[in-house]
Amino acid sequence: MANSKIIIVEGAQGAGKTTITDFLRYAVKYTNLYRLTGTSDSTEEGKRKAATMYQNLLTYMKTLENLNINLLFDRTFFTEEIYCRLGFKEYSFTDVYEALLEELSKMDFDIYYITLYLQDETLFEKRIQREGKAVPDYAKFKAESSINQQRAYLKMAEEVKEKYPNIHVVNVENSRKVEEVEKELKEILGE
């Protein structure tokens, strides 16, 4: 097996992260899937919790560098930074985010940062309905929020690409046929 991979899938609510990470979990051999939701604490204490959690995550990831295991993440510390940039938190996470990103970039993995997006932003309205499923109040979100998140994620992807050429930064348009998206992802990841 070539170098192990870290695959981080990010994107706005409704962009399709769960579907894509479920697919990648089985399409990429020797892959462990991690779903992270961060902390809902938007105070300074929340920042300390998030910083500790993500630092511990990177420490754990580092212990797996030579085990030929691929690590697949549905959200990581990038989400924490996006939510702070958009004003959902009372604190700035940028100092912690930049330190974590620097540490991630030095790991002995092939690192893929994948941003899922919808070219037609009006599709978020349909996606938030969760295809007719009953959605509990805590899981509901608004299309406008997803659009703002998407724009912030795409900007972040460009920042990462510019600063860290060793990280494979890929934006994947995820409103196409599932088969097309899956084929593109397999090609990107060399599967």
- What domains, with CATH codes, occur in the chain? 5-189 (3.40.50.300)
Instruction: Provide the b/e sequence for 109-125 (b: ≥16 CB within 10 Å).
Output: bbbbbbbbbbeebebbe
Q: What is the pTM of this model?
A: 0.92
pLDDT value of position 2: 54
**Residues 129-178: pLDDT tens digits?**
655 555 445 445 678 889 999 999 999 999 999 999 999 999 999 999 99
What mean pLDDT is reported for the chain?
Answer: 91
Give dist(CA 85, CA 154) in Å, integer: 13
Mean of pLDDT values over 15-23: 95
pLDDT at 117 over 70: yes
pLDDT confidence of residue 16: 93
pLDDT of residue 37: 81
Rounded to an integer, what distance in angstroms lies between the CA atom of residue 154 and that of residue 137?
28
pLDDT at 125: 81
